[in-house]
Structure 1
Amino acid sequence: MRGPDEWDDRGRPGGSGGSGERPRIPAPRPAAEDHGPLPDLPSAARVRTDPPGTVPDPAPPHHVPVEYESNDAPVTGDATGPRHPAPAAPSHKVLKSLLGAWALSACSPEETAAVEEHLTDCATCADEALRLRDAVGLLHPADSLDLDPLLRSRVLEGCLGRRPARIPVPDWVTPYDAETAKLDALLRDMGEAEWRAPVRLRWFDGREPVEHPTTVAGVIGHLMAVDGMVATALGLPDPLGTAAPEHPGPRRRTEAHWQTVGEETDPHAPHDPWREQGQALIRTASFAGGGVAELSVPYGKFSLSLRDAFLDRAFETWVHAGDIAEAVDYPYRPPAAGHLHRLVDLAARLLPSTLAQRRQAGLAAPAHGLVAAGAPGRSLHLEVEGSGGGDWYIALDSPAAVGSPEYTVAHIALDSDEFCQLAAGHISPEETAAGQTGEREAIREVLFATAALSRL
């Protein structure tokens, strides 16, 4: 304990006590809140510090000491713990500038909390925040801007489900309808320079792969010239007019068209005639009904029924649309599974007759023996996997024979896309990655016959 002489003249320990007065110890002061509002501190206030040796004023009961730094920023904490300045609330202008980032969820957690607290008090910013959030909902940068190629089919299916078409499109025409619509949409998206883009038309001539350079406009002219064979079979005008060759055939008609057109000044020129001819083919076949399905369409050295000719044109439209899409770097999807199955089925049904033609040309080994028409002969099991696939038994010895599982001598398994690329002449038989078992000669003959289905 200190004696009375150890107190200074202000009532604090350590003084000399030289004045001889009795030391005074100040009594506790009442809380400021008891006498009205707190006075505003000056903006230049600093953290309160007393001179060394000064006794601090006792804090009011149940009151947490609050001290202030510059800019009126409160500092909270007790007398013994660390003191951290509480951050000042962002201004309205700052919070308003953060609304865009908040709508995109790009704010930090602290900024998000400050913005959302501000939105509860500011109606103007709350309305702006709602508008920005709605706008963000319309942004899908990762989505493709191209329409789903199946959208048209789904819309038509929904419409026809509610009200059947008075003149329905035959099911053997729908693949051609779908593929021409897809190609038309691709052509509408292209500029003039893309119409002049180089395209390589590829096929297999029976012995080796060949190709012919042309442009996008040349490909559309080729499609229009070959579609013209179906048009003339239906009684429609021939797009080649007087330039049509005397002996019909896809290659001769294409070459005649290219010679007639020459160097087009307008690269878009074949687009409208091709589209109008395709629409006329679909409309005429639909009005004619099923009675014309077996109408013969000459292809030069062979003929196809109108039913198969429409499937053939759908297959070639898809293949050449892929050639164009590759040339202009455009994504392109294969046909719908149901349509693709019809196209694969056509190729499988044409293989026996193609084998026979190759034998006549000396490009394939002779048949093992004569087989009566309709009788089962040696067969190859063709398994096409994936979308549009299935199983087919290919007669090996005669186009008139019937393929049967009982007389299968070989088995080939192919992906549907690879089978179609082989039939289009885009890959050679030697490059085909096929699962193979059985007679090697039969497998080789069928792979080469599949590639020989292609043509210009």
Structure 2
Amino acid sequence: MPKPGEFRDDGAAESPSRAGRSGGEGTGLVGGRGVEVGADVEEAADAERAEDAVDVRAVLRAAVGQDQPEPALAGADQPAGRDEHADPAADEARRLREAVGLLHQPESLDLNPALRTRVLKGCLSRRPPRIPVPDWAVPYDAETARLDALLQDFGDAEWHAPVRLRWFDDDRPTSRRTTVAGVIAHLLSVDGLVATALGLEDPLPAAPGRGDGAAGPAGRTEAYWRASRFPPTRTVRGPWREQSHSLVRTVSFTGSHAGGLPVAYGDFALPLHDAMLDRAFECWVHAADIAEAVHYPYEPPAPHHLHRMIDLAARLLPSVLAERRRAGLSAPGDRTPHLVPAGAPGRSLRLEIEGAGGGEWLIALDSPAAVGSADHEVAHVALDGVEFCHLAAGHISPEDAAAGQHGDRRAVRDVLFATASMSRM
């Protein structure tokens, strides 16, 4: 055998380290003994990993309060047909799963309400839409999408959960009992007012006559419920969602110039841009009713959408006050025994809305055509934005509204009751 460092017959040099090996590759002489070096390292690493795994299992067992010694493995003296739950491996796997549940912090499955707006804004900033949705229709598009997301995982029990619709009528709280499916049928029926104004198909089986008092939101809803052979079920979700998509698509194609198209609500009418905000407001309110019925949290709209809804209510208040005055439910102020001419400044109330979507509005008290003026301010009311919307929806009474008040108390009372009177089924 050639000496270390000498050339072998095949021309390859034999290194001293290779010449000193007594076995295959991976062995060597350590302290005069033949030791499996690679195997020794692997066994040490396996032992260390095994110790770490035991420590993790011990911690997880302690987390669930089950740190007792593991049961002995099955032996030959144990019966062969025992229950699988007695298997120590399966039992430990179950305990570890429970421990993971304890260590994992519970999180809501709901997406942030503003997430959809942020994603769409980011997408549209990179590639503007060829046919954009008008600004006044965006809140309706967002609220119908949020409600549809809430409904998508509902089972039969949720669809038939009882819901009580609440509003104010003749300055008294009123309610109507229905189900989750009945609420969606209500939204489908009233959204049909906008659909028919745009020339789309009416969702009612037979459109009610204008002279029978059924052309308003409540009459259309009752007509839809009566026309159904059975109480509404989950099948109402499809027509409602299809109609909401059609409304957004149609107003997008008609463009922003169609915002002034009148939408009849029975005994009053709103321009299309205000009607879409009204439908967005009602969609949110009834979505919150549904979420409350199934014990699920539901967030308010995005702040800039909420601001638009509050602005609509503030703009409608002078006309509502005038209607209440004609009905004898309120009276002109002592300093204004007659209605103010159109365009002239008159008594005003400063409505301050705090929180998300807030702002300030000067509400003309004596005529819908009068101009709100800070020089003629007689009262000041401060309310939280969501609470103001609950008042406008008829979910809280004017007496229970936590309002900061200053000035003419009768003017404050008139505005609070006028806000509640805007509510309807």
TM-score by length of 2: 0.76
Cα distance between partner residues in 2 of 1:282 and 1:435: 38
The DSSP-based 3-state class of the residue aligned with 2:371 is coil
1:204 maps to 2:161: no
Amino acid at match of 1:304: L
Q: CA deviation at 1:211?
A: 0.5
What's the C-alpha RMSD, in Å, of the aligned pairs?
A: 2.5
Larger Rg: 1
Q: Output one character per residue of 1:290-332: Cα deviation in whole Å (capped at 9) or x when no partner.
A: 1100000011111100000000000000000000000000110
CA 1:99–1:202 in structure 2 vs 1: closer, same or farther (change >3 Å)? same
The answer to whether the Cα contact below 8 Å between 1:204 and 1:425 also exists between their aligned partners in 2 is yes
Partner AA of 2:244 in structure 1: G
1:242 is the counterpart of 2:209: no
Deviations 1:304-363 (A, max 9, x none): 000000000000000000000000001100000100000000000000100111112222
The answer to whether residue 344 in structure 2 is matched with residue 375 in structure 1 is: yes
Is the CA contact 2:205–2:224 (under 8 Å) kept in the aligned structure 1? no
- Per the alignment, residue 365 of structure 1 pairs with 331
Q: Verify: 1:98 aligned to 2:49, yes or no.
A: no
Aligned residue for 2:252? 286
- Tell me if the contact between 2:193 and 2:264 (Cα under 8 Å) persists in the aligned partners: yes
Give secondary structure in 1 for the equivalent of 2:298. Answer: coil
Higher RCO (Cα < 8 Å, 6 or more apart): 2
SS at match of 1:300: coil
Query: Hey, what does 2:39 align to over in structure 1?
Result: none
The residue aligned with 1:432 is: 401
Letter matched to residue 256 of structure 1: A
Q: Which residue of 1 aligns with 2:121?
A: 157
Alignment of 1:210-289 (within 5 A): 210-247=174-211, 248-264=215-231, 267-289=233-255
DSSP 3-state at the match of 2:346: coil
Which structure: greater helix fraction? 2
Residue deviations 1:255-310, cap 9 Å, x none? 1011112433x710210000000000000000100110000001111110000000
Q: Is the 8 A contact 2:210 2:266 kept in 1?
A: no
Aligned counterpart, 2:283? 317
2:362 is aligned with 1:393? yes
Find the partner of 1:345 among 280, 301, 311: 311
1:301 corresponds in structure 2 to 267
Q: 1:405 to 1:182 in 2, by over 3 A?
A: same
- Shift of residue 103 of structure 1? 9.3
Mapped partners of 1:246, 1:351: distance in 2: 26
Contact 2:205 2:227 in 1 (8 A): no
SS in 2 for 1:270: helix
Give unpaired runs (5+ residues) of structure 1: 1-35, 38-89, 107-131
SS of the aligned residue for 1:173 comes to helix
Q: 1:155, CA displacement in angstroms?
A: 1.4
Match of 1:68 in 2: none
CA distance in 2, matches of 1:162, 1:259: 49
3-state secondary structure, aligned to 1:436: strand
What aligned pairs does 1:139-158 form with structure 2 within 5 A after superposition?
140-158=104-122
Q: Residue type matched to 1:335 in 2? A: P
Describe the SS at the equivalent of 1:241: coil
8 Å CA contact 1:351–1:446 kept in 2: the answer is: yes
- 1:104 is displaced (CA, Å) by 11
**Counterpart Cα distance in 1 of 2:105 and 2:258:** 49
1:18 corresponds in structure 2 to none
Aligned counterpart, 1:80 = none
Distance 1:316 1:400, change over 3 A: same
- SS of equivalent residue, structure 2 residue 375: helix
Of 442, 447, 451, 2:416 maps to 447
Task: Give me the identity figure in percent.
Answer: 63
Residue 238 of structure 1: SS of its match in structure 2?
A: coil
- Tell me by how many angstroms 1:92 deviates: 6.9
**SS of residue paired to 2:319:** helix
What letter corresponds to residue 440 of structure 1 in structure 2? Answer: R
Across the two proteins, how many residue pairs are aligned to each other? 340
Contact kept? 1:371, 1:397, Cα under 8 Å: yes
Distance 1:384 1:100, change over 3 A: same
Q: Deviations over 1:368-425 (max 9, x none)?
A: 3221111101000110101001000000001110111110001101111111110000
Question: Residue 173 of structure 1 aligns with which residue?
Answer: 137
CA–CA distance in structure 1, aligned partners of residues 328 and 225 of structure 2: 32
Q: Within 5 Å, which residues of 2 pair with 1:75-154?
A: 95-100=52-57, 140-154=104-118
SS in 2 for 1:324: helix
TM-score normalised per structure 1? 0.71
Any conservation in 2 of the 1:202–1:425 contact (CA below 8 Å)? yes
Name the structure 2 match of 1:422. 391
After superposition, give the CA deviation of every residue in 1:231-262 in whole Å (9 maximum; x if it has no partner).
00111000003243434211111110111124
Alpha carbons of structure 1 residues 213 and 372: separation in structure 2 relative to 1, 3 Å: same
